Amino acid sequence: MSERDRVRWEERYQSRAAPPVADVRIPAVFAPFENMFPTGGQALDLACGLGQTSVWLARRGMEVWGVDISTTAISRARDLAARRAVGDRCRFDVVDLDSGLPAGRPADVVVCQRFRDRRLDQTIIGRLSPGGLLAISARSVVGAGPGPFRVAPGELTTAFDQLQIIAAGEGDGEAWLLAKKR
């Protein structure tokens, strides 16, 4: 990631308050499928931000590794995990995903909310355990104007067509996909 982008994310997280303890949740687009998320195993949360999804997964019983470019976000994610008494099931690290996905164990769940880097698609698929769940969302041109970091119509379903697609949607400027590795 460029230094300019890293600073922009750092400033964004520094300007936000730490999330309240009650603000631990699954991303809204995946809420109707909450029961499909495992209650044990390994999870990888890419571009985890302030850690709400990571902590939600840990509270379900998963061992979670959250990564983000912002040191402020990672610090606040660690704090949130400690305040929700799941700090022992969460690991948070500063990682620049422009350098690729960090090496690690296979994951039963990979979550990637509002972050998209096409170069990581095959690595994400490879990281999933057999039967592993991918939950990914990104900004979309569908229902919004073109802009940076927006995916084209059908991009997520095409990129992850090797997986068994459970559900997908596009609209209101967001695209999302829930899929399992066969």
pLDDT in tens, 35-63: 999 999 999 999 999 999 999 999 999 99
The side-by-side arrangement of strands in the sheet containing 90-94 is 90-94, 63-68, 42-46, 107-113, 128-139, 174-180, 164-171
Provide the pLDDT confidence category of residue 127 given band limits of 50, 70 and 90.
very high
pTM of the model: 0.92
List the structure tokens of 138.
């990104």
pLDDT by residue (tens digit) across 129-181?
Answer: 999 999 999 989 888 877 767 889 999 999 999 999 999 999 999 999 999 99
Cα separation, 162 vs 105, whole angstroms: 20
